[in-house]
Amino acid sequence: MGHVLAVVIDGIIYSSWLFIIAVGLTLIYGVMKILNLAHGSFYALGAYAAASLVGRWLSAGRAPFGSYAMLILAAILVGLVVGPLIERGLLRFMYGKDEIVLVLVTYAVFLILEDAIKLVWGVDAYFVSEPYGLLGSLSIAGLTYPVYSAALVVVSLLVGAAFALALKRTRQGKLLTAVIQDREISAAMGIDVRRVYLVTFTLGTMLAATGGALTAPTVSVVPGMGVEVIVLAFAVVVIGGLGSFAGAALGSLIVGMVRSAAVHYLPAVELFSVYAVMAVVLIARPKGLFRALEARKI
């Protein structure tokens, strides 16, 4: 029983981490129909910015608990600076082009940002582990878990709840939903689609950066850290259905639980398990679990 509980807890923690990253990816696809390969770089930028801000905060001798504010500030800064820069400076010139072209454009952005990160931060690792240990730990089923991991679960729940509420209850959310449903009709009805794109891309960037910033205290922040994340986030959104928020939540939960069970019971297939699930889902539901069938426009 204790072992099963450990599988569930590990699965939930991993799912939460994945959801924070994947929801930004699915948001950008849902609204802008861009399969954003640069999402991994935004995650890495969030981690590097967090490492820099937390490092400066702590080295200045300020209160350690303030480092959590630095993590959030890092994500906001990356979102507000990098998101509009790329959307206004590059992507807006590509709208209307084939989705494959946009994939290639974001892949180019990914490669540029990977090198830009090395130019700004160098190739040495950064460590900011203090926020990870500050909250202490708790014991469940005979295993020790940092409270930080529980906080990660809370953050992902807050992100999910905020999205659900914003989409259903706010005017901006309804406008966003309209653009997701049909961009052309939305524009015809007077919605400023270009503004919606800017806000969406900024928000998506911020979410990826939040994932990176919250991960920074648990890892060594090194070049290339965004590569693995983007592959996993794609698996999640493909399982859930590209552009679906509920799909991103369910996809994260499925990937997290399957991976956790594999690690505990059959570690040899851990790597295979996530992609096996993805393959099974795509065989049964080629558009993912939550993506509605679309009428073909002629």
Partner 1 sequence: MSEYRDLVQRQNVDVVVGYISSGDCLAVAPVAEELKKLTVLFDCGSPRIFEDASYQYVFRTDAHAAMDSVGAALYVTELKPGLKKIAGINQNYAWGQDSWNDFESAIKALKPAVETTTSQMPKLLSGQYGAEISALLSGDPDVVHSSFWDGDLEAFVLQAAPRGVFAKSTVILTAGETAMARLGAQIPDGTVIGARGPHGVYAPDNQLNRWLRKAFFDRYGVAATYPAYHMAQALLGLKTAYEKAGSGAGQEKVIAALEGSSFETPSGTIRMALAKGHQAIEETVYGTTKTVKGQVTVVNVKRYPAEVVNPPEGMKTQDWIKASLKRTK
Residues near partner 1, by CB under 8 A: 3, 6-7, 9-11, 13-14, 17, 124-125, 127, 129, 132-133, 137, 143-146, 149, 215, 217-220, 222, 224-225, 227-229, 259-260, 263-264, 267-268, 270-271
Considering beta carbons, is residue 92 or 122 the nearer one to partner 1? Answer: 122
Strand partners, 143: 140
CB 202 within 8 A of CB 87: yes
Distance CA 78, CA 45 (A): 7
- Give me Rg for the CA atoms of the chain: 19
Considering beta carbons, is residue 3 or 194 the nearer one to partner 1? Answer: 3
Considering beta carbons, is residue 30 or 226 the nearer one to partner 1? Answer: 226
Determine whether 139 is exposed, middle or buried from the number of CB atoms within 10 Å of its CB (0-12, 13-18, 19+).
Answer: exposed
In angstroms, give the least distance from the CB of 134 to partner 1.
10
In angstroms, give the least distance from the CB of 145 to partner 1.
7
Distance CA 274, CA 86 (A): 31
In angstroms, give the least distance from the CB of 262 to partner 1.
9
Considering beta carbons, is residue 7 or 109 the nearer one to partner 1? Answer: 7
Q: What is the DSSP string of 86-128?
A: HHHHTGGGTTTS-HHHHHHHHHHHHHHHHHHHHHHH-SS-B--
Considering beta carbons, is residue 186 or 273 the nearer one to partner 1? Answer: 273
In angstroms, give the least distance from the CB of 92 to partner 1.
33
Q: Which two tokens stand for residue 112?
A: 């540029």
In angstroms, give the least distance from the CB of 158 to partner 1.
20
In angstroms, give the least distance from the CB of 276 to partner 1.
15
Q: What element of type H or E holds 144? A: strand 143-146
Ramachandran sector of residue 124 (left: φ over 0; alpha: ψ -120 to 50; beta: rest): beta
Distance CA 283, CA 298 (A): 27
| Residues in CB range of 66: below 8 A, 6 or more apart | 57
In angstroms, give the least distance from the CB of 142 to partner 1.
8
Considering beta carbons, is residue 96 or 136 the nearer one to partner 1? Answer: 136
Distance CA 295, CA 293 (A): 7
Considering beta carbons, is residue 10 or 87 the nearer one to partner 1? Answer: 10
Distance CA 21, CA 196 (A): 20
In angstroms, give the least distance from the CB of 62 to partner 1.
21
Distance CA 7, CA 12 (A): 9
CB 200 within 8 A of CB 28: yes
Considering beta carbons, is residue 192 or 228 the nearer one to partner 1? Answer: 228
Ramachandran sector of residue 33 (left: φ over 0; alpha: ψ -120 to 50; beta: rest): left
